[in-house]
C-alpha cells in the first residue's frame, strides 16, 4: 500500500481508501465497526515501593476482547473544544475512523477513539488516520497528542509504539466499576513535530 504526499488516498488491493471529514451519514457505520481484538500478550502493570513497571507478558492462551457499547454521553459535559472526526472509506465501505479533540489550556490533542475494521487492519489505515490527527494538532498549535489504551490491548499498544508514542502515565483504577474492571489504563503521548 502506498500513501500519497497529501495522505488523501491510499491505493490497495481492494481499491482506493479515501480519507475525509466524517459526515452525518457516517456515524451509524462508525458505530457498527467491530473494535474487538485478540491478543497473545498483555502489558502487565506491577507496583512495588511506589514504582510502577510496565512490561509485555505472553499469555498462556489468546485473549479476545469485545468492547461494550458506548453511551452517547461524553465525559466533558458539552465542552466546546475543537473536535476532528475523519473516516477512511473504500467505495461504500467505511474502513475506519478517528475522533480527536483539542484542549487549548494545555495545547493537547486527545485521541478520543480510533478504530479500523478487522478486514482492513494491517494495511496502514490506523497510521494514516493518526497522521490526520497530527495534521489537526498542527493546525491548532498543539504541543503533543495524547491517548489512553487498556493494558490488555497489546496490538494497539505495539502500533502506537511503532508510531512514535511513548508511555507517559497510567491509572490503575480508571476501569473499576465497569466491564473492564481489572484492566489498567495506559497513557501514551507523542510530541507534535
Q: Which pLDDT tens digit goes with each residue over 73-104?
A: 444 445 568 899 999 999 999 999 999 999 99
Domain extents for the chain? 9-191
Using the predicted structure, report yes or no on whether residue 31 has a pLDDT greater than 70.
yes
Q: Which pLDDT tens digit goes with each residue over 45-69?
A: 998 888 999 999 999 999 999 987 7
Cell of 169: 502515565
Whether pTM exceeds 0.95: no
Q: Following CA atoms 182, 186, 187, 189 in sequence, which dihedral angle do they give, to the nearest 10 degrees? A: -160
How far is the C-alpha of 23 from the C-alpha of 2, rounded, in Å?
25
Question: According to CATH, what is the number of the domain 9-191?
Answer: 3.40.630.30
Amino acid at each position: 500500500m502506498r500513501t500519497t504526499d497529501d495522505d488523501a488516498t491510499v491505493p490497495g488491493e481492494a481499491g482506493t481508501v479515501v480519507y475525509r471529514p466524517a459526515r452525518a451519514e457516517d456515524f451509524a457505520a462508525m458505530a457498527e465497526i467491530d473494535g474487538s481484538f485478540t491478543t497473545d500478550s498483555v502489558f502487565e502493570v506491577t507496583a512495588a515501593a511506589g514504582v510502577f513497571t510496565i512490561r509485555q507478558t505472553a499469555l498462556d492462551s489468546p485473549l479476545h476482547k469485545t468492547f461494550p457499547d458506548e453511551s452517547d454521553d461524553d465525559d466533558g459535559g458539552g465542552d466546546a473544544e475543537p473536535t476532528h472526526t475523519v473516516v477512511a472509506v473504500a467505495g461504500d465501505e467505511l474502513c475506519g475512523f478517528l475522533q480527536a479533540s483539542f484542549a487549548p489550556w494545555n495545547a493537547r490533542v486527545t485521541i478520543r477513539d480510533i478504530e479500523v475494521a478487522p478486514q482492513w487492519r494491517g494495511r496502514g489505515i490506523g497510521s494514516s488516520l493518526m497522521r490526520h490527527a497530527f495534521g489537526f494538532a498542527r493546525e491548532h498549535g498543539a504541543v503533543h497528542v495524547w491517548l489512553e489504551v487498556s493494558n490488555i490491548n497489546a496490538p494497539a499498544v505495539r502500533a502506537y509504539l511503532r508510531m512514535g508514542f511513548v508511555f507517559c502515565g497510567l491509572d490503575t483504577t480508571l476501569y473499576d466499576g465497569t466491564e473492564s474492571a481489572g484492566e489498567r489504563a495506559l497513557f501514551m503521548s507523542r510530541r507534535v513535530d
